[in-house]
């Protein structure tokens, strides 16, 4: 397991807060209120470990398949339905959404090999991630991939009520490989994948998936 570069600053701040609070607790509380001082240590240590674990990148064997669309994120599948895209495709498409809890791995990965033909940040609201309106009203970043066969899909990184920072590394014109990092969402949210109508889906509602590992669909 390694730590993602997006977590360096957050972990440094968490370490400083952890050390400062416990130094003050030991100085002012350990003599007269040892149980309270112990409680401060337990709570701050748990929070520090949580921040570190949030930015973890576990060692995994990624799935590589040219005809497969790999899940771009860890989490639970919460939506599989036909919808209408007004942003890029301007028509009907199939939507598969993955909800990411704060306990999930939060690095996002390219679902396919291909060319980035669209990459756009959209400011917006911070509705809870499971609200259907979050797909179009929340802060988000959309990326469209075009494969060598000319097939396209759109991936949206969507902020939620807690997650308020989306990081995306892709720009139009970039050639990318399946399972390379596309970005990071801090502290829980969701990722939508928009596919052509009729695309065979390999996941089911409420299924737990792993980014870079689980096959979401096939072309």
41 domain residue, yes or no: yes
| 196 shares a domain with 111 | yes
| 83 shares a domain with 49 | no
Banded model confidence at residue 138, pLDDT cuts 50, 70, 90: confident
| 213 shares a domain with 188 | yes
103 domain residue, yes or no: yes
Radius of gyration (C-alpha) of the chain in whole angstroms: 20
- Alpha helices by DSSP H, the chain: 8-28, 34-54, 134-137
- For residue 135, indicate whether it is catalytic: no
Number of domain units in the chain: 2
| 202 shares a domain with 127 | yes
26, 57, 88 - which closes a domain: 57
CA gap 205, 2 in Å, rounded: 30
| 207 shares a domain with 140 | yes
| 108 shares a domain with 44 | no
95 domain residue, yes or no: yes
Q: With contact defined as beta carbons under 8 Å apart, do 205 and 77 qualify?
A: yes
pLDDT at 176: 97
Banded model confidence at residue 194, pLDDT cuts 50, 70, 90: very high
62 domain residue, yes or no: no
How is residue 50 written in tokens?
């949580």
| 181 shares a domain with 147 | yes
Q: Is 205 exposed, middle or buried (0-12, 13-18, 19+ CB in 10 A)?
A: exposed
Q: How far is CA 97 from CA 6, 31, 125, 158, 167, in A?
A: 24, 52, 18, 10, 18
76 domain residue, yes or no: yes
172 domain residue, yes or no: yes
| 83 shares a domain with 53 | no
| 32 shares a domain with 108 | no
Give me the catalytic one of 119, 134, 135, 189.
Answer: 189
122 domain residue, yes or no: yes
Q: What is the CATH number of the domain that holds 161?
A: 2.70.70.10
| 33 shares a domain with 115 | no
What average pLDDT does this structure show over 160-168? Answer: 71
* 32: containing domain: 2-57
How is residue 25 written in tokens?
């607790």
43-102 pLDDT per residue, tens: 999 999 988 988 888 889 999 999 999 999 999 999 999 999 999 999 999 999 999 988
Q: What is the DSSP string of 123-159?
A: --B---TTSTTHHHHB-EEEEEEE-TTS-EEEEEEE-
What average pLDDT does this structure show over 125-143? Answer: 68
């Amino acid at each position: 397991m390694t730590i993602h570069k997006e977590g360096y600053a957050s972990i440094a701040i968490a370490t400083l807060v952890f050390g400062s609070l416990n130094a003050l607790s030991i100085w002012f509380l350990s003599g007269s209120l040892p149980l309270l001082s112990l409680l401060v240590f337990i709570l701050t240590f748990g929070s520090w470990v949580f921040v570190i674990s949030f930015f973890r990148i576990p060692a995994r064997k990624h799935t590589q398949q040219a005809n497969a669309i790999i899940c771009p994120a860890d989490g639970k599948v919460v939506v599989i339905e036909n919808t209408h895209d007004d942003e890029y495709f301007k028509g009907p498409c199939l939507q598969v959404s993955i909800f990411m809890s704060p306990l999930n791995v939060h690095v996002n990965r390219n679902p396919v090999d291909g060319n980035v033909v669209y990459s756009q940040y959209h400011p917006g609201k911070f509705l809870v991630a499971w609200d259907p309106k979050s797909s179009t009203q929340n802060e988000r970043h959309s990326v469209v991939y075009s494969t060598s066969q000319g097939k396209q899909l759109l991936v949206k990184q969507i902020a939620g009520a807690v997650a308020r920072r989306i990081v995306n590394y892709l720009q139009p014109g970039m050639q990318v490989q399946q399972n390379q990092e596309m970005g990071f969402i801090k502290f829980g949210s969701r990722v939508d994948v928009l596919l052509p109508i009729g695309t065979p889906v390999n996941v089911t509602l409420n299924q737990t998936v792993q980014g870079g590992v689980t096959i979401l669909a096939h072309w």
